[in-house]
Amino acid sequence: MTTLAELYLPDFDQEMVNTRRVLERIPTEKFDYKPHEKSFKMGGLATHVANLPTWAPLIIEADSFDVAPAGQQIRAQEQKSTEELLAFFEKNAASARTSIESATDDLLKGEWTLFANGHKMLSDPRHRLLRYFVLHHLIHHRAQLTVYMRLNDIPLPGLYGPSADER
């Protein structure tokens, strides 16, 4: 019988490959680019994308997480170069995969809760939140990052087929 982790891992693996293909194209000299005053800088957004796999161990290894303990939002330290960004991403993706591989169906069917400053934000089965916080959230922000790249004439990799830059 196929486990939930076994069902999830092919999608996880493919999205990590796609994410690395995007991150490796972001030049360090563009890390300060912002398309709008309300937007992340490119380096900050890329760091956020590279950090999102860390949600897998958070969801699997504890019953809850507070994203803003004592009212202070937790954020990953912004990476300073493409090389740092890729090393950060690779470490996080490997740790996430190890956590997912070790997760039993009983654990993944169990509830996990997200708090912000001690206030419950949501609670759902771990298997749903892995898909939401790790895959969907990552894909969303990776897409934002590709818009930043297009605006800076950085060639886009094909992710689900060829891009206009790879034809």
Asked if the structure places residue 76 within a domain, the reply is: yes
Asked if the structure places residue 164 within a domain, the reply is: no
Host domain of residue 26: 4-151
139 has a pLDDT exceeding 90: yes
Signed CA dihedral, 11, 13, 16, 17: sign only: negative
Give the mean pLDDT of the chain. Answer: 97
Which pLDDT band, with edges at 50, 70 and 90, does 167 fall under?
confident
Q: What is the CATH number of the domain that holds 34?
A: 1.20.120.450
pTM of the model: 0.95
Asked if the structure places residue 16 within a domain, the reply is: yes
Asked if the structure places residue 106 within a domain, the reply is: yes
Asked if the structure places residue 70 within a domain, the reply is: yes
d(CA 110, CA 113): 10
Asked if the structure places residue 61 within a domain, the reply is: yes
d(CA 167, CA 158): 9
Q: What total number of domains does the chain contain?
A: 1
Asked if the structure places residue 159 within a domain, the reply is: no
Portion of the chain with pLDDT greater than 70, in percent: 100
